[in-house]
Amino acid sequence: NEYISLYTYSVLSPSEELFYRSYLMIPNHIFFSDFGKVLFSGVDIVCGYAIYLIFQFLNVNQRKAIQFSCFWFLNPFVIIISTRGSADTIVCFLVVITLFYLLQEKICFGAFFFGLSIHFKIYPIIYSILFIFYCMDLDRKRKTRWYSYSMEFIVISCSTFFFCTFFFFSFCNKC
């Protein structure tokens, strides 16, 4: 399992989950063997900080925002997953950053990161209904017929997903 990233290009297909994780682990062979654990732990820390920023944006006082983000930082389940070298922390970060941008009504950025998260692993698609309903609520509050946040979210996230999929399949010549 340690040397699987060396054979990724010739053996694995982009439709396999191991494909992306093994590309992320190539620096394990160049720099040091625990590069992936450091990378995923770092993404975990950035994710916790993004959770803190979400609570700050929602005008939660600083003490409560720190307490809520500590639920992420000090959760043993999260710590074990990131330190054992699982790429799920990247998907969690992409979903949290999607929520961060949607709350700021930066639909384009949120949709981009959401499409990227679905491309990375398929299970974040379960959040799509919630995100689309949130965008529909923003549309309802704006009362406009000519522009739709929900359609923007759908088009950009699907475009990101399909572009990334096409890129990696063409990159590997396995179409």
Predicted confidence pLDDT, tens digits, the chain (175 residues): 445 545 554 455 555 555 666 667 777 777 777 887 888 889 999 999 999 999 999 999 999 999 999 999 899 988 888 888 777 889 999 999 999 999 999 999 999 999 999 988 889 999 999 999 999 988 888 876 667 899 999 999 999 999 988 887 777 665 4
Q: Which of 16, 21, 81 is nearest to 5 (CA)?
A: 21
pTM: 0.83
Distances (CA, A) of 5 to 12, 53, 61, 84: 10, 35, 45, 16
pLDDT, position 15: 54
**Within the chain, where are the H helices?**
8-11, 17-24, 26-30, 35-57, 62-73, 76-83, 88-103, 107-120, 128-142, 149-171
Structure letter (DSSP) for residue 33: T
pLDDT, position 14: 52
pLDDT, position 170: 77
